[in-house]
Amino acid sequence: MEKGRIITIDGPSGVGKSTVAKSVAKNLALMYLDTGAMYRAIALEVKKHSLSLDNDDELLSLLSNTDIEFVKDNNVLSIRLNGEDITNEIRSPEISKISSDVATKSIVREKLVEIQRRIGLAGNIVVEGRDMGTYVFPEANFKFYLEASLDERAIRRRKQLLEAGIELDMNKLIKDIESRDKQDMERSESPLHPAPNAVIIDTTNLNTDEVINRIITEMKGE
Is residue 8 part of the contact set for ligand DC (CB under 6 A)?
Answer: no
For position 157 contacting ligand DC by CB under 6 A, the verdict is no
For the window 22-61, what string marks contact with ligand DC as x by the rule CB under 6 A? -------------xx--xx---------------------
Pick between residue 15 and residue 29 the one whose CB is nearest to ligand DC: 15
Task: Say how far apart CA 164 and CA 83 lie, in whole Å.
Answer: 23
Rounded Cα gap, residues 41 and 90, in angstroms: 6
How far apart, in Å, are the Cα atoms of 210 and each of 18, 64, 136?
Answer: 15, 42, 27
Instruction: Show the site string, 120-149: x = touches ligand DC by CB under 6 A, - = not.
Output: ---------xxx------------------
Helix (H, G, I), strand (E, B) or coil at 217: helix
**How far apart are CB 10 and ligand DC at their closest, in Å?**
7
| Closest of 2, 4, 1 to residue 124, by C-alpha | 4
Among 7, 59, 103, 212, binds ligand DC (CB under 6 A): 103
Q: Is the Cβ of residue 115 or residue 206 nearer to ligand DC in the bound state?
A: 115
- Select from 23, 100, 134, 203 the one that contacts ligand DC (CB under 6 A): 100
Residue 203 makes contact with ligand DC by CB under 6 A: no
Q: Write the burial class of residue 107 (CB in 10 Å: 0-12 exposed, 13-18 middle, 19+ buried).
A: middle
Exactly one of 45, 86, 105, 184 binds ligand DC (CB under 6 A); that residue is 184
Q: How many CB atoms lie within 10 A of CB 118?
A: 9
Q: Are 168 and 140 in contact (CB under 8 A)?
A: no
The residue ranges that bind ligand DC (CB under 6 A) are 13, 35-36, 39-40, 96, 99-100, 103, 129-131, 180, 184
